[in-house]
Structure 1
Amino acid sequence: MDALKKGFSMAKEGVVAAAEKTKAGVEEAAAKTKEGVMYVGTKTKEGVVTSVNTVAQKTTDQANLVGETAVAGANQVSEKTVEGLESVVASAGLVKPGELTKQGGAVQQPTDEGQ
């Protein structure tokens, strides 16, 4: 009987030792897993910030391009409008065709020196 008790006692000590080692191993694995998850999270966050900044910059660039194109288009439309008005004014006989001059991009009617 003593032999059985001694055998069970040794087995119990072995199980306790194994459990302690398992507990320590699990704690170490959990710590390393946490470190890995935090690292991946940090890298993902950095990637997202970089992506958001890239998208924001490209959006700004596109908005500027659209704005510049709209301004250029508006300038062309206004130039054509002025040219059309010059034609209408000249054809209506309100001014003589040679009297309209362009100065600095603006159409001006020459002043009458006698007035």
Structure 2
Amino acid sequence: MDALKKGFSIAKEGVVAAAEKTKAGVEEAAAKTKEGVMYVGTKTKEGVATSVNTVAQKTTDQANLMSDTAVAGANQVSEKAVEGLESVVASAGLVKSGELKHEEQPPADAGQ
């Protein structure tokens, strides 16, 4: 009988030891899973932020390009309008064509 009790006691200790190791293994696995999920979340967040910043920068670049083009177009239109007015004034005889002088203005983005 003592042999049976001793055998069951040893078996019980084995089951307890296995349960403790299983518990420790599950806790470690849960910690690693949490760490992995947090890492993926952080990388996803960084990726989204980078994408948003890239889109914002490209939008800003395009807006600047559009405004530069609009300013250049407006300058050309106003230059042609002035030339047309000078032509009308000269042909009407209000001013002699030699009296008209063109003042060169620097381009709008020359100071940048």
TM-score, normalising length from structure 2? Answer: 0.67
State the secondary structure of the residue aligned to 1:112: coil
Q: Identical aligned pairs, as a percentage?
A: 91
Give the Cα–Cα distance (whole angstroms) in 2 for the partners of residues 112 and 65 of structure 1.
12
Say which structure, 1 or 2, has more relative contact order (CA 8 Å, 6+ apart).
2
Change (3 A) 1:23 1:98: same
RMSD (CA atoms): 8.5
Give the Cα–Cα distance (whole angstroms) in 1 for the partners of residues 14 and 111 of structure 2.
122
Deviations 1:34-58 (A, max 9, x none): 1111111222222222222222222
Which has the larger share of strand?
1
Alignment of 1:24-63 (within 5 A): 24-63=24-63
Give the Cα–Cα distance (whole angstroms) in 2 for the partners of residues 92 and 86 of structure 1.
10
Query: Gaps spanning 5+ residues in structure 2: where?
Result: none
Deviations 1:55-83 (A, max 9, x none): 22222222221111111111101101101
Query: Gaps spanning 5+ residues in structure 1: where?
Result: 101-107
Which 10-residue stretch deviates more, 21-30 or 3-12?
Answer: 3-12
